[in-house]
Each structure stands twice: as C-alpha cells, then as structure tokens.
Amino acid sequence: MMSALEIKELAISRGGRPLFQGLNLNLSAGQACALTGRNGSGKTSLLRAIAGLLSADTGEIGFGEQDPDQARRTEIHLVGHADGLKSGQTARDELAFWTRWSGGNLSSLDSAIDRLDIRRLLDLEVRRLSAGQKRRLALARLLAAPRTLWLLDEPLSPLDSVWRTRFGEMMSDHLGSGGMIVAAIHDPLPIPAQVLEINP
Amino acid sequence: MSLAWELLKRETALSWGRGGGPLVSAGFYLGVATLLPLAAGPEPARLAAVAPGVAWMTLALATLLGLDRLFERDYEDGALDLLTLSPLPLEFVCALKCLGQWLATGLPLALAAPITEIALGGSPTLAPLVLVSALVGGLAFAFASGIGAALSLGARRGGLLTAVIVLPLFTPPVIFGGGALDAFASGLPWSAGFVLLCAYAAAAIALGPLAMAAACRNALS
C-alpha cells in the first residue's frame, strides 16, 4: 500500500507557458491537501502530473517505497472535470465496468450504491442524469474500488449542500483508513487539510 | 485476462452503437455495391470482372465510418484518463479497442463481402477467398486505422484528418488482397498476395498499438 506522496521541486509548463516551478508537497497516510489558486494556475495540471498523465519539466513525484508506474496503475483514483461516463450506457453498466476496471468487486459496489443513494438511478441512461447525479456515480467508483490516493478536481462543485456534507464524511473515512487525498478546489473542503496555494 | 475480457465486451458494445455501428457500415457497403451497375453499366461480364475488386475496395472505405470516434469520445468524456490508470498497459487497451471495433463492424462487413461479390456477378468459387481475405484484411484495416484515429485526437475536424492519415496505410492491404483475388479469378497463383496480406495484418496488430498508445499519451499530456 502506498505510504506517502512526495513532490520535490516540480515545474510544469503548458503550451510553452510556465505554470509553476519549485513546487514541493509531502503527504503521509491519513492526510489531505487542498490545492487552491486562480483559474489556470495549474491545479488540474498538477493532479494530472501526479496521475502520470502529464510530464513535468523538472522535479520528482514519488509514492513512498512504491514503484511510480505500479502505484499509478493500482493505487490512484482520479475524478476529473469529465466523469468518464458514456451517455448512452446505463448507470448500472457504467458503475459495474469502472468498478471492475479499478480493481473493485460487485459486493463493494453494492454498499457504495447505498451510501451514495443512487440505486434508483441505476437503470437510467447516463444522459438522463443531472450533473450532481453523474458526480455521485463517479464518486461511487472511489468507494467501490478502494485505492489509496484520491486525486479530485473540484469534486464538490456539482453537489448540493447535503451531498457536500456526506462526501466530506466519506473523505474522512478514507483518511481514517490510511488513505490520502489531493483535491483542487474553489470552495473549502469539508475536512481538515493542508492548503497548497499555486500562484502563477 | 478477466479485465481484458471486460474491456473487449464493452468496446464491442460501444462500437456496435457508435455512429450507427454495423448497420450504417453495411448500408454504405450495399449502397456502393448497388451504385456500381448504374455507373459501370449492367453487362454481366463487365460487372463480374470488377466484382472482387469492388467488394474489397468498398470494405476498406466502409471501415472508415465511425472510426473518428474510436478514441475521440473517450478523450472527451474523461474515460481515456481512467483507462490509462489501470493494470493493463495502454498499448493492450488500444489493441482491445481496435479488436472491439473489428468485431462490431469489420466482422459483419466481412460476412457481407462474398454476398456482394456474388450479387455483382462474381464467381461463387471465389467467395471463400473473398470471405477469408475480408476477415484478415478487416483486421489490418482496423489496426491501421486506429493509428489515424489516435493521431487525430483533439484535432478540429478530426474525422477528415483520420481519413487522410489512414488511406495511405490502406494501400498495401488493398494491393495484396485485391491482387490475390484477381489472381485467383484469373487462374493464376494467388497465395503470395494472401500471405503478404496476412503479414501486413500481423504487423499492424503488433506495431499499431504501440503507435496508438504513444499518440494517446501525447494527446492526454
């Protein structure tokens, strides 16, 4: 299991424009980090770099003793702006596939469905769901297939106040079980977290 | 392997529904075959002479339908990010996507190819070779065209760009497959063309996913 996230002197540029440089972050099991900053400051790019989807100009990203490639394949969940859901598929099919793809099983999915109160949505096509309902489907993947590090890009934005509170409880539980969270946010996270402000 | 099987089932189902799936491809295929007698004239001898080549060419063109969405939709809806964060190498994921595309559209088109060839007046003895060539050639088309689909990710009017990239890659299988059919119909040795077609398909299956994965990584970054 991944024990830490260590970022040293990271620099990332996009389209020839430097976003940030000399960025450091250390996160241990049970800790969360809230990334703040203005639009375009590089919060999403940092999350994608941690996930290995974007190359850094300089610096290092480590995952404790674990091999980075292995960690990215088995220990990281990414919830980005797009939820990765196919509009023509039913919520049930999408959840089942992504749960298995992420290493979860159908019994853990069943309890995630109850916790996110999406059972009545399961037979609907994804295109029929609201933005908040789609986000809850994406968050169900986090619970159904346990992985250590959650990378969340504005996870709260489509959720109403009730679900923001409930998702806060789910994040607390994840941290309590030794997980880690890095979240790019504009609204405050409902859990204690160190704040890393990214300035261009 | 169960993960690979899950992805193959999903990709086949999505390809079946993508852009009308096999129905649109088959409709295009039959439409071109129907137009041919109107353009070339209805004389049976003339139609029989061009039937194998037309069946083969139309198969190549029908493969292009719906191809631009092979990676584009996953790229747009974030699924490509999630497919990357998995125990399966991205190269294998790309190969499974192409295989799913072939199962959903290439396989039905290959089954329609000998029917079209006979309907245009071609010899029934040629039909088995048309079928096998279309099966093998369809695989070559699917994997070669996957390269074009991945390279055009995120581009404006990516569908057109995909076709421009892919058509040169279709040249060898069209020459090898068409040559084998023409040789068989003329009573000449045909196996060399067919073996070259199989070799091209094998190369496309082996090397295509490497290029696709590299192009996907480049688009994601």
What does the alpha-carbon distance between residue B160 and residue B145 come to, in Å, rounded to a whole number?
12
Residue B122 pLDDT = 80
Close Cβ partners of B203 (under 8 Å, ≥ 6 residues apart): none
pLDDT above 90 covers a percentage of chain A that reads 70
**CA-based nearest residue to B153, from B142, B165, B143:** B165
Q: Average pLDDT in the A88-110 region?
A: 91
Pairing state between β A4-14 and A58-62: antiparallel
Cβ distance B84 to A52 less than 8 Å, yes or no, reads yes
Chain B residues closer than 8 Å to A77 by CB: 85
Chain B residues closer than 8 Å to A80 by CB: 78, 81
Chain A residues closer than 8 Å to B221 by CB: 48, 53-55
Contact A149, A2 (CB under 8 A): yes
Element spanning A171, H or E: helix A161-176
Residue B64 pLDDT = 82
Residue B109 pLDDT = 87
Burial readout B176-202 (b: 16 or more C-beta within 10 A, e: otherwise) = bbbbbbbbbbeeeebeebbebbbebbe
For residue B132, the one-letter residue type is V
To 5 degrees, how large is the angle CA A101–CA A66–CA A79? 40
Q: Which residue of A has its CA nearest to B80?
A: A84
Cβ distance B87 to A73 less than 8 Å, yes or no, reads yes
Contact A154, A143 (CB under 8 A): no
Give the DSSP letter string of B154-211: T-TTHHHHHHHHHHHHHHHHHHHHHHHHHHHHTTS--HHHHHHHHHHHHHHHHHHHHH
Cβ distance A97 to B6 less than 8 Å, yes or no, reads yes
Cβ distance A54 to B221 less than 8 Å, yes or no, reads yes
With the C-alpha atoms ordered A196, A198, A65, B82, is the resulting torsion angle positive or negative? positive
Q: Looking at this predicted complex, what is its ipTM?
A: 0.91
Residue A125 buriedness (CB in 10 A; 0-12 / 13-18 / 19+): middle
Cβ distance A82 to B14 less than 8 Å, yes or no, reads no
User: Higher pLDDT residue, A173 or B59?
Assistant: A173
Q: Which residue of A has its CA nearest to B10?
A: A97
Element spanning B82, H or E: helix B79-84
Q: Average pLDDT in the A21-44 region?
A: 92
Residues belonging to chain B: 221
For residue B11, the one-letter residue type is E
Each of the 221 residues of chain B gets a pLDDT tens digit; together they read 688 999 999 999 888 876 566 778 788 888 887 887 788 777 878 877 777 777 788 888 888 877 777 898 899 999 999 999 988 999 999 999 999 999 988 888 888 888 888 888 888 898 899 999 999 999 999 999 999 999 988 776 667 788 888 889 999 998 999 889 888 888 898 899 999 999 999 999 999 999 999 999 999 88
Q: Bridge-partner residues for A181, per DSSP?
A: A32, A150
What does the alpha-carbon distance between residue A61 and residue A54 come to, in Å, rounded to a whole number?
12
With the C-alpha atoms ordered B113, B118, B124, B125, is the resulting torsion angle positive or negative? negative
Residue B53 pLDDT = 77
**CA-based nearest residue to B201, from B139, B109, B130:** B139
Choose from A53, A129, A141 for mutation: most chain B CBs within 10 A: A53
Q: Which residue of A has its CA nearest to B81?
A: A53
Cβ distance B81 to A78 less than 8 Å, yes or no, reads yes
Cβ distance A54 to B220 less than 8 Å, yes or no, reads yes
Structure tokens at B122: 């071609």
Q: Which 161-220 residues of chain B touch chain A by CB within 8 A?
A: 220
User: Higher pLDDT residue, A1 or A130?
Assistant: A130
Residue with tokens 């421009």: B164
With the C-alpha atoms ordered A180, A138, B85, A99, is the resulting torsion angle positive or negative? positive
Choose from A13, A47, A73, A86 for mutation: most chain B CBs within 10 A: A86
Q: Average pLDDT in the A129-149 region?
A: 93
Residue with tokens 């994040």: A171
Residue A3 pLDDT = 84
CA atoms within 13 A on the CB side of A167: 28
Residue B1 pLDDT = 63
The number of C-beta contacts closer than 8 angstroms across A and B is: 64
Structure tokens at A32: 């969360």
Chain A residues closer than 8 Å to B83 by CB: 101
Assign A80 to helix, strand or coil. coil
A119 near B CB under 8 A: no
Residue A115 pLDDT = 92
Pairing state between β A4-14 and A76-79: unpaired
Chain A residues closer than 8 Å to B220 by CB: 48, 53-54
